[in-house]
Amino acid sequence: MSLDNNKSENKYCKCIHKNVNYNKVNITLYDNEKITLVNCELCQEGTKQLNLNNAVICLCGSMFCIDHIKQHSKDNVDQHNVVAYFGRDHNDRFHCLKCENNVQIVDKDIVDINDLIDAYEMFYNTSLPRQLDQSNRVILDQVNVDGIVKYIQSGQCKNIVVLTGAGVSVASGIPDYRSPKTGLYNNLQQFKLPYPEAICDIDYIKIHPELFYTLAKGIFPGQFKPTPVHYFIKLLSDKGLLLRDYTQNIDTLERIAGVPESKLVEAHGSFNGAYCTVCQHRYSDISIIKQHIDSSTIPYCTVGECIGKSSLLLPNIVFYGDSLPPIFNRCLLQDFGVNNNTTPKCDLLIVIGTSLKVNPIASMINFAQHVPRLLINNEAVGCPSTHPSDYTVVSNGFNFNNQQQYNDVHISDDCQKAVKDLIEKLNWTNEFNNLINKSI
Ligand code: OAD
């Protein structure tokens, strides 16, 4: 089914994520629910403000107004063809960019959509300036590393959330993305990309898979070993102190270090499996891709109707334009969610080796304002920005200068060194060394 092809309709029917014009696009959601969501690229009128009763979360990660879907779906009752994507630059409020009519077609009972709404509700609330709830706050004796060490040793701290990025794997030989000289995005001239992030953009990869696969050869798991930071996270887990390890990294080094799967959220996916971009068939064994990477050829799907066709296979990585895995939303709710005035489970957040430039991960630090937050990074990141176009930096981010209001500590150093120092202060050095020796 397609929408009318007259001009006024056309402009609402280009999918910014799937690069499809005007026709229906069936995006398979997790749990095998099907819904058609095509993002509206050009819709820029109107300012209806979203509230959480009328907000709907597109599984591509965008937020939009329910009325808006209804309006544009009225001729396509079985498909939700058009949504507006949320405006992120209006004082941290989301706006539906256009909405008028009401035709009830949206199935609010879609499996997991409630989880998603809840998760995004947290994003929504915390991205608004708000008073810190002083009564439920954990206060450090000293807002510095010694204060963090004392807190961990006190026994009060039992549910540590660790959030990591590419900086923790640099010592293993994998470059990060944004470091000025060595970062991946600054060393892609050979690929002649329109912009550096294109190498991680699903639409671009579908057109130029050879570029992604050239890159993938250099970073494919098997060539790299976990670093002290990875073993520190494993040690926290062994000590029963790790609530969750959210990693943006796709290198699987947390798994190799032995962080249990139940504690791990690979928020940007990993090389731990593959899928067909056409029929969505899942391959649990990544070797289907590995063989092609080794021979510098492109892997295509080998099942069903895709046999003999150029149906591209990709590893289970979350590219720009993809949704985050459902486990991310579920764990976010479990670890930071609040029901009936309970305090969130997380009682210490440790952020290591990330620029906090990519949402929704970057906004996670908002949820831990009530507890001490430790940043281990060679530059200060995640601080509220005054720059209007910088929407990735969260409004309630780190504040290393206001010790009365915030328990934020920054160790500005190489993360491997900083973690070893921290382990020493915690008197965990022997156990740490044993752990590493056992793993070699
Ligand atoms: P970035 O490269 O954006 O940030 C890495 C951060 O770690 C920077 O702040 C570095 O200064 C810091 N760093 C690097 N080496 C360090 C070291 N040895 N000690 C301390 N700090 C160090 O990487 P991410 O934040 O992980 O997404 O990037 C987030 C996402 O952007 C990635 O997952 C990827 C990328 O586009 C997708 O591809 C979807």
Residue-wise pLDDT for 303-356, tens only, equals 999 999 999 999 999 887 676 777 887 788 788 876 555 677 899 999 999 999
Averaged pLDDT score across all residues of the chain: 73
Nearest CA to ligand 1 atom 9: 355
At 283, phi and psi to the nearest 5?
-110, 120
- Quote the pTM value: 0.77
Of 141, 118, 152, the C-alpha closest to 344 is: 118
pLDDT at 6 exceeding the cut of 50: no
Residue nearest to atom 17 of ligand 1 (CA): 414
> In ligand 1, which atom is closest to the CA atom of 354?
25
For the stretch 244-277, pLDDT in tens is: 999 999 999 999 999 999 999 999 999 989 999 9
Please determine, for residue 31, whether its predicted confidence score (pLDDT) is greater than 60.
Answer: no
Which of 188, 265, 352, 355 to mutate to test ligand 1, by most ligand atoms within 8 A of the CB atom?
355
What are phi and psi for residue 382, nearest 5 degrees?
Answer: 70, 15
- Ligand 1, atom 26: closest residue by C-alpha: 165
Which backbone phi and psi does 46 adopt, to 5 degrees? 75, 160
Who has greater pLDDT, 359 or 348? 348
More confident position, 261 or 103: 261
Q: Is 419 in the pocket of ligand 1 (CB under 6 A)?
A: no
Phi-psi region of 185 (alpha: psi -120 to 50; beta: other; left: phi over 0): alpha
Q: Is 268 in the pocket of ligand 1 (CB under 6 A)?
A: yes
Residue 266 · residue 250 · CB < 8 Å: yes
Q: What is the mean pLDDT of residues 290-305?
A: 93
pLDDT band at 132 (very low <50, low <70, confident <90, very high): low
Q: What is the mean pLDDT of residues 398-417?
A: 91
148-191 pLDDT per residue, tens:
999 999 999 999 999 999 999 999 999 999 999 999 998 888 88
Give residue 370 CA to ligand 1 midpoint distance, Å.
Answer: 25
- Say which residue the tokens 């077609």 belong to: 105
The reply to whether ligand 1 has any atom less than 6 angstroms from the CB of 137 is no
Over residues 386-393, mean pLDDT: 45
Give the model's confidence band at 144: pLDDT under 50 very low, under 70 low, under 90 confident, else very high.
very high
Sequence-distant (≥ 6) Cβ neighbours of residue 322 within 8 angstroms: 60, 202, 269
Q: Which residues are catalytic?
A: 268
Residue 9 has pLDDT above 50, yes or no: no
Ligand 1, atom 16, lies closest to the CA of: 167
As a whole number of angstroms, the distance between CA 120 and CA 103 comes to 24
Task: Give, for ligand 1, the residue of 378, 394, 410, 416 to mutate: max count of ligand atoms closer than 8 Å to Cβ.
Answer: 378
Pair of tokens at residue 199: 């190498």
Residue 417 has pLDDT above 70, yes or no: yes
Q: Is the CB of 410 under 6 A from ligand 1?
A: no
* Model confidence band, residue 66 (pLDDT cutoffs 50, 70, 90): low
- The one-character DSSP state at 196 is G
Compute the average pLDDT of residues 398-410.
87
CA distance 198 to 407: 37
CA–CA distance, 432 with 429 (Å, rounded to integer): 5
In the chain, % of residues over pLDDT 70: 65
Per the structure block, which two tokens stand in for 264?
Answer: 């791990």
With a cut of 70, say whether residue 3 has pLDDT above it. no
Closest approach atom of ligand 1 to CA 322: 39
According to DSSP, residue 312 is labeled B
* DSSP code, position 47: -
- C-beta pairs of 17-25 under 8 Å, 24+ apart in sequence: 17/60, 17/202, 17/203, 17/321, 18/203, 18/321, 19/203, 19/206, 24/76, 24/79, 24/81
Look at residue 298 and tell me whether its pLDDT is greater than 80: yes
Q: How far apart are CA 107 and CA 81, in angstroms?
A: 13
The domain made up of 175-223+269-317 has a fold known as SIR2/SIRT2 'Small Domain' (3.30.1600)
Say if ligand 1 is within 6 A of residue 166 CB: yes
Going from the Cα of 261 to the center of ligand 1, the distance in angstroms, rounded, reads 22
Q: How far does the centroid of ligand 1 lie from the alpha carbon of residue 178, in Å?
A: 6
Q: What is the pLDDT of residue 67?
A: 54
Of 334 and 417, the one with more pLDDT: 417
Helix (H) or strand (E) run with residue 294 in it: helix 287-294
Task: Give residue limits of the domains in the chain.
Answer: 7-111, 134-170+225-267+324-439, 175-223+269-317
Q: Which CATH architecture has domain 134-170+225-267+324-439?
A: 3-Layer(aba) Sandwich (3.40)
